[in-house]
Amino acid sequence: MCGIFFSLSQSGSVSPNEETCCLLRNRGPDSFQAHSLQHDAHADQADARGSLCLTFVSTVLSMRGDHLVSQPLVDTATQSVLCWNGDAWKIAGEPIQGNDTEVIFNLLLQATKPSSESSPPSDTVQSVADVISSISGPFAFVFYDAVNSRLFFSRDCLGRRSLLQGCDKRGSLKICSLCDGTSTTHFEEVLTDGMHMIDLTQSVLQDTPEATTGANVTFNLETIQTIPWNNSDSPAGHNLRNPIPPMNMSTPDGEPPQLSVESLSVSNLEQKLRQSLALRIQNVRAPPGATAEGDVKVAVLFSGGLDCTLLARISHELLPHDETIDLLNVAFENPRVAAAAGKEAKAVSVYENCPDRITGRAAFAELQTVCPDRNWRFVAIDIPYVETVAHRDTVKRLMRPHNTEMDLSIACALYFASRGQGVAFDSRPTHPEPLAYTTPSRVLLSGLGADELFAGYARHGMAFARSGFEGLIEEIHLDVRRLGKRNLGRDNRVIAHWGREARFPFLDEEFVAWVSQMPVWEKCGFGVPGSVEETSLESGLDSEKKALRLVALMLGMNQVAREKKRAIQFGSRTAKMEKGKVKGTDALS
C-alpha cells in the first residue's frame, strides 16, 4: 500500500500538512519522498498568468519485486513523474514479473514519448488510456506527462484504492490518498467513471473574489476532462476498455436446473476463485523481521462467515503447509447491548458473546478438522469501549469525506481488525496459555464483493419475491454497476493506516467478468424447488450465494456452508454503542 499526495498551485510548492504526512507515512512506512517542478506558461497560451508549481509526495509499502522502489518515479530525460498505489497483477493478460511500478512507468513513458520525424504524430492520450486499460488489479495513480504537459489521475473501475480530490482555501488543486487538512476542506472521492486529465497547455485557472476564497486565482475544476470506461470496441473519442462486460440478463426458460456440488459451474467457480486467490497470496514477500520460512505472510479478516472462511480454506491449498495463516477476528464491548442483556449476561464474556466471535470460533474449529496439517492462528481481537472512544477521532479522520453513523460503525470494525493486535490461539500451541500477539502479515484477505456478485443480501430475496428473476437480475446488475461507487475508498483509508494491504479475490476483474456472464441460476438458488433429500449434505442451504455454499461443501466445510449473512457492524457490535435513536444514515455531529 502506498500514499499519494499531489498539488497544483500558482503560489509556489504546496505540501501536505504535518498530520497528513504522518498518515501517509503510516500507509507507506518503507519510503517517503517529495518532488516539485515548475510548469511555465507560454505567452501564446490561453492563460499565461505565469508558472504553475506541481508537487508530488509518495510513501511506499514495498510488496512487489526483490527490492524497494522509492517514489515518486522521475524520468531524468523528460521530467515525467509517476505516483503509483496499486497491485498490477497482469498487463495485457500476462502476469508481471518484478516490481509493477517500474513496469507501468516504463509503459507510460513509451506511450508519451515524442514521435520521430519519420513517424506520424501519435495520439498520446489514447496511448496512455491503452496502458491503463491493460492493467489488471487495483490501483490509484497520478502521472505527469512532461512531454505533452498533461496530468493524468485515476482509480481502477472498481474503486479498490482510495484517491480524493479538492481545492484548498487558497485555490490550489490537491489529489491525495486521504483528506489533507481539517474537515472543512472540500474533498471528494475521485470518480471511477474513467481516467481524468488536465491539459496544462490550456487555461486551468479562474479569477475568484478574494473574500470568498482568500485568493485571487483558483484552479478551475471544470477543466478536468474524463476519458471514460467503455464496453464498445470502437467508440468515438478517447476511451478506456472496460474489463467488466455487460451482465448476462437472461432468465430461465421454465424451472432452472438444480445446482449441486456435482454441477460443472460449481467446479468452475472454485477454479476461478482459486486462480484469483493465487495471484494475491503466492510469492508474498516475508514481512520485516521474519525469522523463519513458516512465519505468517497472509492473514484473513475473519468473521467466520462463508466468504472469508472460503478464502481461508482455498488458501490452505495454495500456500506451503509449514506457513501459518492468521485469522483476525474482532469483537467489541458495546455498553448498550450489555445493558439490554442485564445481569444474566455478566457471567459470559462480552467479547465471546459477540455473533462474529461465535461464528469465528466455530469456523476456526472446522478449518482445524478439515485441514489438520496447517497451523491456523485465531487472533481474538477484543476492543473495550474506552479504547473505541479513544480511537474514534482517528477513525473519523481517516474515513473522511464519509461522515455517517454507519460509516463510523463499519470503519471502526475494519480499523481494529486490520491492526491485528489480540490474543493468539494456535492449532498447534507451543505455549500452555494463549499469548498476546500482533500479526506481522502485510497482506489481509477480504471476502468483500461476494454478496454483490452472488445475491447474498436479504434484498435480493425480496427482489425475487416481488418481481421474479427479472427483479433479481436487475438488483444484482445494480450492485455490480455501483461497486466502484461504494465504500472501498473509505475501507482502504482505514485498513492502510496500519501499513497493511487488503486484497479482494472476489473483486478480481477477470473473476467479476466471468461471474457477470454466468446465468443467474448458476449463482444462487432462487426459484428452484426444495427437491434435495433431507439426508443430503446439500439440504437446508440458503438460496443466497448458493453457488459459493456448494463450493464450501465441496471443500468439506459443511457448517460454514450454512452460515447466514451478517453485516460487520452487527456481527462485531460496533453499531449503536450509545443510547438514543440513531439511524445509520445520520450524519455525525
* Pairwise CA distance, residues 140 & 535, whole Å: 50
* Pairwise CA distance, residues 286 & 298, whole Å: 9
**528 and 470, same structural domain?**
yes
**188 and 105, same structural domain?**
yes
* Pairwise CA distance, residues 25 & 442, whole Å: 15
pTM over cut 0.85: yes
475-478-479-480 Cα dihedral, nearest 10 degrees: 120
User: 44: pLDDT confidence band, cut at 50, 70 and 90?
Assistant: very low
Q: Give, as one character, the DSSP assignment of residue 116.
A: P
User: 452: pLDDT confidence band, cut at 50, 70 and 90?
Assistant: very high
In a domain, 469, yes or no: yes
**237 and 277, same structural domain?**
no
Number of Cβ within 10 Å of residue 404's Cβ equals 15
**pLDDT beyond 70 at 120:** no
Mean pLDDT, the chain, as a whole number? 89
By the 8 A CB rule, do 165 and 102 touch?
no
pLDDT at site 211: 44
Of 74-78, 98-102, 383-387, the one with minimum mean pLDDT is 98-102
In a domain, 18, yes or no: yes
pLDDT at site 585: 74
CA 301 vs. chain centroid, Å, equals 13
With a CB cutoff of 8 Å and minimum separation 6, the contacts of 412 are 332, 388, 391, 392, 395, 574
3 state DSSP class of 485: helix
pLDDT at site 184: 47
**pLDDT beyond 60 at 169:** yes
* Pairwise CA distance, residues 491 & 53, whole Å: 31
Q: Which of 182, 249, 531, 256 is nearest to 541 (CA)?
A: 531
Q: Alpha carbon of 478 to those of 27, 246, 453, 513: distances in Å?
A: 32, 12, 10, 15
Q: Alpha carbon of 64 to those of 108, 233, 287, 334, 545: distances in Å?
A: 19, 33, 12, 40, 33
**pLDDT beyond 90 at 65:** no
Considering its fold, how many domains does the chain have in total? 2
In a domain, 252, yes or no: no
**pLDDT beyond 50 at 492:** yes
User: 294: pLDDT confidence band, cut at 50, 70 and 90?
Assistant: low
Q: Alpha carbon of 272 to those of 257, 260, 507, 522: distances in Å?
A: 21, 17, 12, 14
**274 and 184, same structural domain?**
no
By the 8 A CB rule, do 165 and 186 touch?
no
In this prediction, residues 44-56 reach a mean pLDDT of: 72
Which structural domain range is residue 29 located in? 2-241
Q: Alpha carbon of 151 to those of 41, 125, 201: distances in Å?
A: 15, 10, 11
| One-letter identity of residue 103 | V
In this prediction, residues 326-343 reach a mean pLDDT of: 87
**454 and 415, same structural domain?**
yes
In a domain, 327, yes or no: yes
Q: Which of 56, 52, 25 is nearest to 39 (CA)?
A: 52
In this prediction, residues 470-474 reach a mean pLDDT of: 96
**pLDDT beyond 80 at 523:** yes
pLDDT at site 18: 94
**221 and 269, same structural domain?**
no
**pLDDT beyond 60 at 48:** no
**220 and 346, same structural domain?**
no
**363 and 509, same structural domain?**
yes
| Catalytic residue numbers, as ranges | 2
Of 5-9, 277-281, 373-377, 573-577, the one with minimum mean pLDDT is 573-577
3 state DSSP class of 126: helix
**339 and 213, same structural domain?**
no
By the 8 A CB rule, do 450 and 358 touch?
no
3-state SS of 216-241 is: CEEECHHHCEEEEEECCCCCCCCCEE
In a domain, 508, yes or no: yes
Angle at 542 between CA 537 and CA 543, to 5 degrees: 120
Most confident residue range from 118-132, 336-350, 549-563: 549-563
pLDDT at site 345: 56
**270 and 203, same structural domain?**
no
Residue bearing the bigger pLDDT, 168 or 21 = 21
Q: What is the CATH number of the domain that holds 390?
A: 3.40.50.620
Angle at 404 between CA 403 and CA 409, to 5 degrees: 110
> How large is the angle between the packed helices 509-516 and 264-281, nearest 10 degrees?
170
Q: What is the CATH number of the domain that holds 15?
A: 3.60.20.10
- β pairing state of 421-426 and 376-383: antiparallel
In a domain, 588, yes or no: no
**329 and 226, same structural domain?**
no
* Pairwise CA distance, residues 110 & 454, whole Å: 40
In a domain, 584, yes or no: no
**300 and 157, same structural domain?**
no
In a domain, 182, yes or no: yes
By the 8 A CB rule, do 80 and 108 touch?
yes
